[in-house]
């Protein structure tokens, strides 16, 4: 029921096909983030209309509320939420980083203090996998330790070694044949630790590999160096997932290095906060220059928002605190991301990815320079 194949390449960029029990996913693919089993400010039907195929949900948050046992009882995430397409769940490992003030970590696992009610919860590799089996996503993640980008090398080295040990335990605990369990490569921005982690995780025989521990405060240059050094160690016949990295510029570069899968909160979070992604760069809708702007957010976009409303109206809604503003801007941002991924795939199929990447980056850089000087 699960398979992955490469159908075309352009340089190192790949166009692939991921088959799951809930449908096929064309890669490169962007996964909207549905932390609590829903993508903020949009409905499932809107996501389907936009062309979203694979959605991410969060193990830690669903463990706390409503609880994975309840989700399992009500048909897993697909039955509980009504989303008919493929789903991916993270392992909770990112919360090891993001909730550092609320947790205690040792070899057994991570003891979290709930941000909701203060209750204590022990998340181990075995518990993470049990939760993900209850949630029933098509692709699930091994439990890992994500160290901060500012951590000393010895701390990163220990986290990297622990991630391998936890990957073995995750593998031993996983028992659902209708799910693919991905291993996660850690190692911070240290090239040697990254290579060590990749070698150890690949040797465990996972059907796919995720790259964690980036987009946690490191520089773009450091991230690019990690990816450049790491790619030769990840098997080309298996899907590669870059976790949490998601500006348009970063995505274009990562696809060019051979990454297949992405998730990021930027299009939804930024939409709720009044920032729009367009073909000619970013727009902050709060800016007074848009008060009388009758143009759509992106004249080249065919999404519902761009077909129906103006920048002036969006600015009014946003400043008035209307929830419709968040809905309309989230729809547009997701449409922009998903359409960009479709264009990337098409350029790979045509053998023209590098031309597409170069031209898109040139346009975005020119827009940024123009806005910076205005």
Single residue among 264, 296, 325 that ends a domain in this structure: 264
Q: Is residue 245 predicted with pLDDT exceeding 80?
A: yes
Per the structure, the count of domains in the chain is 2
CATH number of the domain enclosing 28: 3.20.20.105
Active site residues: 90, 263
Are 257 and 165 found together in one domain?
Answer: yes
Q: Is residue 372 predicted with pLDDT exceeding 60?
A: no
In this prediction, residue 99 carries a pLDDT of 87
Are 279 and 224 found together in one domain?
Answer: no
Are 186 and 318 found together in one domain?
Answer: no
pLDDT digits (tens, 9 = 90+) for 338-354: 999 999 999 999 999 99
- Whole-angstrom Cα distance, residue 269 to residue 329? 10
Residue keyed to tokens 């694979």:
54
Single residue among 247, 264, 281 that ends a domain in this structure: 264
| Residues whose CB is less than 8 angstroms from the CB of residue 52 and which lie 6 or more positions away in sequence, other chains included | 31, 32, 85, 334, 338
Single residue among 230, 247, 264 that ends a domain in this structure: 264
DSSP 247-267: -HHHHHHHHHTT--EEE-SHH
Are 256 and 277 found together in one domain?
Answer: no
Q: Is residue 185 predicted with pLDDT exceeding 70?
A: yes
Are 115 and 170 found together in one domain?
Answer: yes
What is the token pair recorded at 130? 């049990």
Are 324 and 306 found together in one domain?
Answer: yes
In this prediction, residue 315 carries a pLDDT of 98
- Expressed as residue numbers, the domain containing 46 is 3-264
Are 184 and 321 found together in one domain?
Answer: no
pLDDT digits (tens, 9 = 90+) for 318-331: 999 999 999 999 99
In this prediction, residue 369 carries a pLDDT of 66
Are 257 and 300 found together in one domain?
Answer: no
Are 350 and 368 found together in one domain?
Answer: yes
In this prediction, residue 253 carries a pLDDT of 97
Are 328 and 360 found together in one domain?
Answer: yes
Q: Give how far Cα 205 sits from Cα of 20, 77, 164, 195, 312, Å.
A: 19, 27, 12, 16, 53
Are 365 and 233 found together in one domain?
Answer: no
pLDDT digits (tens, 9 = 90+) for 2-55: 999 999 999 999 999 999 999 999 999 999 999 999 999 999 999 999 999 999
DSSP E strands, the chain: 3-10, 13-20, 23-27, 29-31, 55-57, 87-89, 103-105, 110-113, 120-123, 139-141, 180-185, 209-211, 240-242, 261-263, 275-278, 281-284
Q: How confident is the model at residue 101 (pLDDT cuts 50, 70, 90)?
A: confident
Residue 220's H or E segment, with its range, is helix 220-230
């Amino acid at each position: 029921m699960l398979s992955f194949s490469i159908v075309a390449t352009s340089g190192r960029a790949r166009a692939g096909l991921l088959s799951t029990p809930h449908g096929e996913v064309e890669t490169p693919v962007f996964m909207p983030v549905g932390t609590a089993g829903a993508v903020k400010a949009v409905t499932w039907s809107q996501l389907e209309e936009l062309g979203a195929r694979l959605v991410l949900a969060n193990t830690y948050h669903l463990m706390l509320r409503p609880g994975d046992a309840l989700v399992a009882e009500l048909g897993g995430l697909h039955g509980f939420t009504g989303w008919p397409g493929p789903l991916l769940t993270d392992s909770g490992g990112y919360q090891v980083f993001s909730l550092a003030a609320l947790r205690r970590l040792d070899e057994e696992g991570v003891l979290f203090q709930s941000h909701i009610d203060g209750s204590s919860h022990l998340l181990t590799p075995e518990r993470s996998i049990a939760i993900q089996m209850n949630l029933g996503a098509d692709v699930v993640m091994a439990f890992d330790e994500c160290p901060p980008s500012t951590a000393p090398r010895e701390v990163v080295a220990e986290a990297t070694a622990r991630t391998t040990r936890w990957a073995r335990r995750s593998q031993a605990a996983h028992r659902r044949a209708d799910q693919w369990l991905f291993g996660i490569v850690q190692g911070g921005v240290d090239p040697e630790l990254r290579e060590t982690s990749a070698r150890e995780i690949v040797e465990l025989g996972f059907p796919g590999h995720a790259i964690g521990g980036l987009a946690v405060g490191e520089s773009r240059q450091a991230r690019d160096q990690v990816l450049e050094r790491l790619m030769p160690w990840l098997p080309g016949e298996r899907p590669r997932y870059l976790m949490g990295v998601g500006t348009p510029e970063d995505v274009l570069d990562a696809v060019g290095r051979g990454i297949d899968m992405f998730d990021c909160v930027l299009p939804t979070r930024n939409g709720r906060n009044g920032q729009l992604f367009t073909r000619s760069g970013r727009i902050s809708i709060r800016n007074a220059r848009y008060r009388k702007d009758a143009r759509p957010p992106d004249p080249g976009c065919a999404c519902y928002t761009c077909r129906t409303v103006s920048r002036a109206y969006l600015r009014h809604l946003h400043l008035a605190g209307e929830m419709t503003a968040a809905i309309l801007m989230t729809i547009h941002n997701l449409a922009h991301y998903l359409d960009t991924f479709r264009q990337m795939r098409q350029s790979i199929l045509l053998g023209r990815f590098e031309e597409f990447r170069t031209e898109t980056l040139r346009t975005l850089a020119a827009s940024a320079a123009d806005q910076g000087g205005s």
